[in-house]
Structure 1
Amino acid sequence: MGAGWVAGVTRARALRTRCLGAEGIREVAASPTLDDALRSLSASPYRHDVTPGVTPAEAQRAVSAALLWHLRILAGWQPAAGADAVRALAAGFEISNTEHRLRALAAGPRRPGTGGLHPPPYRLGALATAWTRLARTRTPSELRAVLTASVWGDPGGDSAAAVATGMRVSAAVRLATAVPDGERWAAARLALLVGREVFVVGRRMPDVPARRAARLLGSRAVGAGSYTDFRQALPAAAGWLLKDIDEAADLWRAEARWWNAVERDGRELLRRSRFGPPPVVGAVALLCVDAWRTRGALELASRGGGPGDWPVEVLGAPG
């Protein structure tokens, strides 16, 4: 491997220290108030913009912004293939920006003196794919056209629901193709998305993202008429996530299962000794899991705190 991978992997392993860790997350979750939890974070990797007095949503977004900053730093140290992998893994930030852009378009022009966008868009830097153009769109149909002409592809509609679903399907397919060892994560996450959309929300997927989803899940699963048929038709790469989840209403249990699997895989990838994509992907996975659980711990603190001995695996999914 070239010098670029040596530097990139070295940086990836160094960023492992930017996680709060199990004990820190438990401490945050056990805080009796949100302000107490935020004070616990004041000396942590998430300290930037996490100050007492913010709302739970603002605190959670600050954690996400800190994660994004670390991913931008990591991507800057990578050769092209490594940067592409980090960009694919960070796709959720551009999706979030686009969703907020659609809400702003639906709300119409702001009156003078009412402030700017709230929350402000994530600063994506080199991790952006189409955000610069999406940010300039003036109508939902124009936003859809920009997506269609980009790596995201046509979401199949210009409503908020269609764009959110279409972009998430596209992100899963890109994760499977651009990230070494990412197909299992992508297929399982996509199965959870389709299961929720179709069998919990009761919303039929537009034809365009449905065809795209079939690339990972198969046409039988995507076209299934019942949750039971859907689960039985899933390929092995996705079916493991829904094992023992017999009812669509219980799909919430799969969320923590998916993150726990990403953590286990991430640790294994980071331990690999060779210089190349796997340790970089592993570092990103562990950073993302830590941020997800920290956001969950903040939610628990905002509700009065949870037991200090809660298993950290469940802290990202408060009830």
Structure 2
Amino acid sequence: MSARWVAGSVRAQALSRRRLGPVGARALAASASAGEAVRALAGSPYGARVRADHDLAAAQRGVAETLLWNLRVLAGWLPQRGAEALRALAGWFEIANVDEHLRTFDGRPADPPFHLGHLATAWPRIAAATSPAELRAALAVSPWRDPGGAEIRDIQLGMRLAWAERVVIRAPAAATWARAGAVLLVARAGSPGGGRLPAGAAGAAARLLGPAAVGAGSLPELAAAVPARLRWVLDGVDRPAGLCDAELRWWRRIGRDATTLLGRAGFGPDPAIGTAALLAEDARLVRAALEAAARGGDQEAFDAVT
């Protein structure tokens, strides 16, 4: 075991404590206003990127930037295999950048890109694209691969399923989360109004879940078609309205599994992957708590997404 695995595992344990946790997030959600919640958050582990004078949107952005910064720091302590695992997990931020970049093609306002540093996969090349066709071409010669079309839906679904595949390969401890997340993506894409999967996304979905999952015509059919070890994510879901509960079940599974990974004896990629997942879950809870505070401390709104 290299010294860098040891150092990375120790750093992962330290970073895992830089969270509000469910209790802290719930307390934040009970704030009487967004301003009160943001001021409280500025004195927390998120304070380096959340200022007391931030509005709701800026504070939520700061929470996401805090997560990304912690992933960058942790990756810097790890040997190459560990850094590659975190680069795969951080693909969400590159997808978010592309989502915003797509908005600029038809003149809509867009948020600035996240700065991924050494966790970037292909962002500098993607950022230079000035049309959906150029964007597709940039993706096709990158680890994201060709999404199969230049329509916004092609690109967004293709990237998300390609992300799941990369996580399976680069961060095996997170493979179940990635495959179960792909089940949810396929379920939403096939729900009323969602249409069928584009060709590029269908290929990735087939590799992740099996060919039968791509041809499923309903949620019960999809649940029966995916591998047995993934059926828990759609347990009891027979209509699109139930997919929100399925997504919460998915997040809760991630939280439990991540805690187990972090607590394992020895050194290796598992503590880093567990910490990355716990930090991501905490960021999700904190962003939801800010939304609840903006509604005057609406605990029911917070409970609905946690």
State TM-score, norm by structure 1. Answer: 0.91
Match of 1:36 in 2: 36
Deviation at 1:84, TM superposition (A): 0.6
Match of 2:177 in 1: 185
Q: 2:284 matched to 1:296?
A: no
SS at match of 2:144: coil
1:258 aligned residue (250, 268, 276): 250
- Any gaps of 5 or more consecutive residues in structure 2? none
* Separation (CA, whole Å) in 1 of partners of 2:42 and 2:159: 34
SS at match of 1:81: helix
8 Å contact kept, 1:180–1:278: no
Amino acid in the other structure paired with 2:35: D
Q: 1:200 to 1:186 in 2, by over 3 A?
A: farther
* Separation (CA, whole Å) in 1 of partners of 2:73 and 2:34: 29
8 Å contact kept, 1:293–1:316: no
Alignment of 1:133-152 (within 5 A): 133-152=125-144
**Larger deviation: 235-244 or 36-45?**
235-244
Q: 1:55 to 1:43 in 2, by over 3 A?
A: closer
Q: Deviations over 1:192-241 (max 9, x none)?
A: 01101111432211112101111111111111122221121111232111
Match of 1:111 in 2: none
Identity fraction in percent: 46
Amino acid in the other structure paired with 2:200: V
**Larger deviation: 56-65 or 45-54?**
45-54
Match of 1:10 in 2: 10
2:157 aligned residue (165, 173, 177): 165
* Separation (CA, whole Å) in 2 of partners of 1:200 and 1:4: 49
- Any gaps of 5 or more consecutive residues in structure 1? 109-116
8 Å contact kept, 2:137–2:146: yes
Match of 1:268 in 2: 260
Q: 2:284 matched to 1:317?
A: no
8 Å contact kept, 1:5–1:79: yes
Match of 1:131 in 2: 123
Q: 2:212 matched to 1:205?
A: no
Match of 2:113 in 1: 121
* Separation (CA, whole Å) in 1 of partners of 2:45 and 2:120: 23
2:209 aligned residue (212, 217, 220): 217
Q: 2:241 matched to 1:249?
A: yes
* Separation (CA, whole Å) in 2 of partners of 1:161 and 1:60: 25
Q: 1:159 to 1:9 in 2, by over 3 A?
A: same
Deviation at 1:284, TM superposition (A): 0.8
Match of 2:22 in 1: 22
8 Å contact kept, 2:16–2:278: yes
Match of 2:278 in 1: 286
Q: Deviations over 1:71-120 (max 9, x none)?
A: 00001111000001111111100000011111112218xxxxxxxx7421
8 Å contact kept, 1:183–1:237: no
8 Å contact kept, 2:104–2:110: no
Deviation at 1:159, TM superposition (A): 2.0
* Separation (CA, whole Å) in 2 of partners of 1:87 and 1:200: 34
Aligned length: 306
